[in-house]
Structure 1
């Protein structure tokens, strides 16, 4: 005899199990999980939208060429609404990823929504790469 007289008299209630053999979640728990997921997706979408509204400029590195020990040429695309002016910071890096040169490049305004730019960055020592660090709308 167990210490629970009601369980002895009526038996233990059967727990509903799923295909894995584990107990199923209650309807309330499933609704709470679905609501939490919906809030998470909506929050991520809102952050992405607000970031795009705040800075409608994006960029993509195309390539670079080390011209000499004092110069690297960087080519990149800038995507922005037509008529917008952006400022992009282009950096040159040495083999240990230290910055050896930097240049702010003004792009636009242009009637196209994508512009290809090539910038020559002067360096303090020979660079092994050149990249775009950031682009933002010009004040």
Structure 2
């Protein structure tokens, strides 16, 4: 069996890979190796892109915190002590919540932390409560928006 090569004089057929006239149904295009590599590269780029977004999100919010403890001062107040870790010169806003025995929120407070010279700042926040709290925790901290203007 010998193969014969059809040389197309139609540049469009060359460029877009249209089957030459007279080709039967078996002339459907297969994915070339190059196309398969391109698809693989696109998938890899998608994964890298997701990782990049997670990383840049962490860069945008460079603040982390650690609960140290709390003490219930009275039925109207709980004090919460926590460390905030962030780059020196950063300002962060932390939301503290006071919870009752059934974990319902009985008080909440936004605390502005920093800027400080060190990369960790210990803060004790007094949270006013509507009824006696059994615990106080840091809900979340995020970098202050004012740094960027």
Note whether the superposition's TM-score is higher than 0.5: yes
Q: 1:96 aligns with which of 94, 99, 102?
A: 102
Residue 93 of structure 2: aligned partner: 87
Structure 1 residues 102 and 40: CA distance shift in structure 2, 3 A:
same
Deviation at 1:48, TM superposition (A): 3.0
- Relative to structure 2, which stretch is displaced further, 37-46 or 66-75? 37-46
Name the SS of the counterpart of 2:136 in structure 1. Answer: strand
Residue by residue over 1:63-98, the C-alpha shift from the partner in whole angstroms, topping out at 9 and shown as x without a partner, is: 111111111110111011100111111110111111
Give a deviation string over 1:100-134, Cα, whole Å, max 9, x none. Answer: 01111110111101101000111000001100111
- Which residues of structure 1 form unaligned runs of 5+? 1-34
Aligned with residue 51 of structure 1, among 32, 54, 57: 57
> Which of 116, 119, 139 lines up with 2:122 in the alignment?
116
- 1:107 is matched with 113
- The structure with the largest alpha-carbon Rg is 2
**In structure 2, do the counterparts of structure 1 residues 129 and 40 end up closer, same or farther at CA, with 3 Å as the change threshold?**
farther
Offset of 1:43 from its aligned partner?
A: 5.0
Name the count of aligned residue pairs.
109
